[in-house]
Amino acid sequence: MNKIECKSIYKSFVINNDVLNVLSDINLDIVQGEKIAITGMSGAGKSSFLHILAGLDKPTSGNIFFNNTNIAKLNNVSLSNIRLNNFGFVYQFHHLLEDLTIEENIYMPAYLNNSLDKSKKYKAKEIMKTLNIYERKNHLPWKLSGGEKQRAAIGRALINDPKFLFLDEPTGNLDESNSVIIQDLIMELSNKHGIALIAATHDNKFVGSFEKIYKLVNSKMSILNE
């Protein structure tokens, strides 16, 4: 079973010669298929923690293991390979490439790990149908609504069959109706494909769908629903 393990994670930033501690002695194990929400006030360190978990940033100290490999110690090439083949990312801002069609945006992670073949193109087609954006596949992002752009971002995150999906306020820019649609889609896809969800969110309705809920306060993490 695929697993991420955090061992005594600390993260601090130096601002105007002052040290700001955002994460202190965080220990957490996440197994593929689990659904975990990270809550806390803005600036509490939720995004920083997600970025460290996903190998997008390094801790000030401590270790992150993915299947017993310490990703905090890997070089950029090795780390990129792990991310491309095991992790997916959905952010508050969709970060679609504006010069590419929706279909091309969804292809991008498969293109980057040299796996864009007929089977991946068929998978992209099925993903777009599931997300109800197949009819928009040849459109550029600026022609889509906010909810459609976020669905495309989810499709892009899923194309390489991730084991872990990281969600950083994925519905933060959406109205209530689109938020519910996106949340339901994420949960459905996680259940169907056995993908672990790790979400940083303020959305109380979304939080209630998760098996484990953690809260970051004063750089410390505690579980709320054990």
pLDDT tens profile 113-141: 888 899 989 989 998 998 889 999 999 99
Give the pTM. 0.89
Neighbouring-strand partners of residue 21: 12
How far apart CA 54 and CA 118 sit, in angstroms, is 28
Output the six-digit token pair for 33. 């298929």
Q: Residue 203: which residues within 8 A CB-CB, separation 6 or more?
A: 169, 171, 172, 179, 183
Average pLDDT, rounded, for the chain: 88
Residue 174 or 13, more confident: 13
d(CA 128, CA 47): 27
